[in-house]
């Protein structure tokens, strides 16, 4: 009897270890941004039609659209059905241009001919709780909820005629700063093609329209991972993020559109 109990405990322990062999998972590598498009719109709610001009930051200031940045992703699996995920990366762009036409940013009317340098720094933080409602040796399906926080700092520097007066636009301090912590719902899919080869798909979605605040977000990642040892591997994939947000103000509503697409290449560790 004791031998049977001991054997049962050993089998149970072996099963638990097998189920939790990926309790911790870390991914560190590069996000190769292929394109990014950022548009700012200010709608004057006191004007007749209320529609403001759209400013495309990449086009107006000749900002680089392609770059390589560091990216971190991590997951802590609480048990077979519950996990916490987190991610961080930062995309910083800058450029300069001589304005061919008059344009407005916020309450500043800037005349043509101004030589202006600009920057836009974007920090993205993500954290999600995921519940795996279907989990076998080959397939895992999960749903969850969390936050997709996007911190944006947009600044100008240079000399220009603003609202009819020659001014120095300053040292690049934020003309526009905003933090958008967006609650998202999530879907996760993982398929084990081979013992050492996996395909993963993840998407986060957000939509809101309340008290003048409206917006939407979709963030999707498709990756393939190959493990050359029990704990170490490499991965590659594609990430696309699309965000539209309108925030109310006293005299105007701020509209922000931000689209980013790029490839992922990274090392991964699980244990």
- Whether 5 is covered by a domain: the verdict is no
Closest CA to 260 of 12, 3, 57: 57
The whole-chain average pLDDT of the chain stands at 81
Residue 238, in any domain of the structure: yes
- 12: in domain: no
Q: Are 242 and 209 in contact (CB under 8 A)?
A: no
CA atoms of 40 and 271, how far apart (whole Å): 44
pLDDT of residue 33: 94
Instruction: Give the pairing type, strands 54-56 and 139-162.
Output: unpaired
Domain membership of residue 6 (yes or no) is: no
Number of domains forming the structure of the chain: 1
pTM: 0.77
For residue 40, tell me if it sits in a domain. Answer: yes
Q: Which two tokens stand for residue 249?
A: 């103000």
Give the pair of three-digit tokens for residue 225: 């991972």
User: In the chain, helix, strand, coil percent, each to 5?
Assistant: 10, 75, 20
Q: What is the pLDDT of residues 96-145, one digit of tens each?
A: 777 666 666 555 666 666 777 778 888 999 999 999 999 999 999 999 99
Which CATH number is 140's domain given? 2.40.128.90
pLDDT of amino acid 172: 43
In a domain, 2, yes or no: no
What per-residue confidence (pLDDT) applies to 62?
81
Q: What are phi and psi of 6, to 5 degrees?
A: -60, -40
Task: At 243, list the tokens.
Answer: 């965000």
Say if 147 falls within a structural domain.
yes
Phi-psi region of 56 (alpha: psi -120 to 50; beta: other; left: phi over 0): beta
Mean pLDDT, rounded, for 250-268: 84
Indicate whether 50 pLDDT > 50. Answer: no
Residues 6+ apart with CB under 8 A from 18: none
User: Is the pLDDT higher at 39 or at 164?
Assistant: 39
Confirm if 223 and 239 have CB atoms less than 8 A apart: no
> Domain containing 77: what range?
23-270
The answer to the question of residue 9 being in a domain is: no
What are 26-48's pLDDT values in tens digits?
Answer: 999 999 999 988 887 766 544 44
Name the 3-class secondary structure at 18. Answer: helix
């Amino acid at each position: 009897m004791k031998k049977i109990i001991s054997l049962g405990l050993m089998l149970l322990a072996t099963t638990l270890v097998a189920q939790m062999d990926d309790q911790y998972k870390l991914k560190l590598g590069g996000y190769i941004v292929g394109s990014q498009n950022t548009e700012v719109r200010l709608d004057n709610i006191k004007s007749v039609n209320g529609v403001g001009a759209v400013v495309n930051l990449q086009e107006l200031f000749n900002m680089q659209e392609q770059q390589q940045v560091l990216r971190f992703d991590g997951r802590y699996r609480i048990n077979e059905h519950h996990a916490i995920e987190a991610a961080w990366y930062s995309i910083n762009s800058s450029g300069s241009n001589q304005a061919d036409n008059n344009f407005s940013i916020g309450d500043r009317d800037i005349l043509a001919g101004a030589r202006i340098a600009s920057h836009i720094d974007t920090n993205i933080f993500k954290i999600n709780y995921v519940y795996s409602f279907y989990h076998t040796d080959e397939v895992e399906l999960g749903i969850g909820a969390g936050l997709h926080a996007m911190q944006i700092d947009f600044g100008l520097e240079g000399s220009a005629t603003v609202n009819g007066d020659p001014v120095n636009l300053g040292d690049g301090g934020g003309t526009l700063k905003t933090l958008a912590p967006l609650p998202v719902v999530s879907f996760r899919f993982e398929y084990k093609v081979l013992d050492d080869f996996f395909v993963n798909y993840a998407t986060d979605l957000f939509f809101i329209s309340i008290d003048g605040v409206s917006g939407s977000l979709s963030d999707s990642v498709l990756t393939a991972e190959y493990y050359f040892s029990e704990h170490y591997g490499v991965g590659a994939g594609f990430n696309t993020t699309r965000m539209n947000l309108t925030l109310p103000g006293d005299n105007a509503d701020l509209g922000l559109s931000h689209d980013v697409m790029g490839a992922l290449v990274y090392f991964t560790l699980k244990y």
